[in-house]
Structure 1
């Protein structure tokens, strides 16, 4: 049973090659500045719907969720927080018999969750049916909320790489203009002209590369008098005080 769980875990991207000390404590990844935040014994590790690896010690670090079997030669499983798509407390007895921490995993590639080559048909069929879910089931129901809070705090330290820094990306003006559809880009150009901005400041090569100047010439060519008032107003604003 243990080998089946380990095989299924690997198919779901769960690390089964966890470095442990002789006392079966987790070896922290110092290069990644990993720190141990919480250690809770008496927690079952359930993969999928009912593949229970038995009781073990749950280690919550600043980088990983690590479960180590209480058996001397038992398995150990590790998950990085980026692999966890969703985490929640489950107290619904129709979902699982005991209150637990529910983790939905990122299934990653299409090969995950599929039976590997070389195994017998029965094992492959079992692996194919394993859903990308993990349940951490403490022996003491009261521990659920405590574990969940620590897990949430640690997960917040490890934002997903796809959304990390969202809103902090910087683009130059030419890149922004190039990403607009022609109609919107023309409207933006018109607004800029009304504000008295000179498009030549963008750089001729950059503007031509992204189509900005071409779009402007086409827009003005279709209606040459469209911006005459604005240009005259701009010229008037540019004269020194007292000029006639």
Structure 2
């Protein structure tokens, strides 16, 4: 997945037109808000356009220039909030932070500064949406939240050789009826925690079993040694008793 803000010019219809949606991925339009200015990074606000919010992304299209527009996926929005503090920004707006794949130049502060003539949208990390009617901010925020919930962070795939989790039935099928100590898979003895481990030569279950056998062996050795010592004490006591009897005689 490509993170970050992108230029967007795919429109249909006359005049300003409307954005082309990704029908193959079941993208649906959720809200349309006209009269919205956009601010990218530290640049000056662009002339008002129309904000389109779909189930997949946020799109802004200029009303003045048909070839100008931007889009960002909800998966690239790490934060969004309502900003009404004039010290943070003069106009009430929706403030959003954008995750990006680009590495910014720390010395120049990126490519979104006011002095840049050309805009590298791949490095834009902040966006403000300023509706002409500030009363619409709460509605826009609620829609942002709703669509963000429709786009949860993808779960990273686990390593094929490690950290697999199986049910008890799956593990029994994979191990066979006998299981066996040489089997790569081991299953927990606790029915409430049917977790299978696959850790190569460092299997946790096998290691615990080896420790248990070693501990059991140490206990057996200690018990045997204690019996030998006790037996020797009995032998010494019998010899002392015989010597005492001989002395009395």
Q: Same fold (TM over 0.5)?
A: yes
Q: Distance in 2 between matches of 1:72 and 1:125?
A: 16
Aligned to 1:102: 95
Change (3 A) 1:143 1:202: farther
Q: Distance in 1 between matches of 2:8 and 2:120?
A: 19
Ranges in structure 1 where 5+ consecutive residues have no aligned partner: 1-11, 116-121, 175-199, 228-244
Number of residue pairs the alignment of both structures matches: 181
Matches within 5 A, 1:76-225: 76-110=69-103, 114=110, 123=116, 132-162=125-155, 171-172=165-166, 201=179, 204-206=182-184, 207=186, 209-211=201-203, 212-224=205-217
Q: Distance in 2 between matches of 1:201 and 1:111?
A: 55
Contact map agreement 1:45 1:52 (CA 8 A) in 2: yes
Contact map agreement 1:114 1:124 (CA 8 A) in 2: no
Q: Distance in 1 between matches of 2:85 and 2:131?
A: 15
Aligned to 2:79, the other structure's residue is in SS state strand
Contact map agreement 1:49 1:131 (CA 8 A) in 2: no
Compute the RMSD of aligned alpha carbons.
3.5
Aligned to 1:30: 23
Aligned to 1:46: 39
Determine which structure has more spread, i.e. the larger CA radius of gyration: 2
Ranges in structure 2 where 5+ consecutive residues have no aligned partner: 158-162, 169-177, 187-199, 221-249
- Cα deviation for residue 124 of structure 1 reads 8.7
Change (3 A) 1:126 1:64: closer
Change (3 A) 1:126 1:150: closer
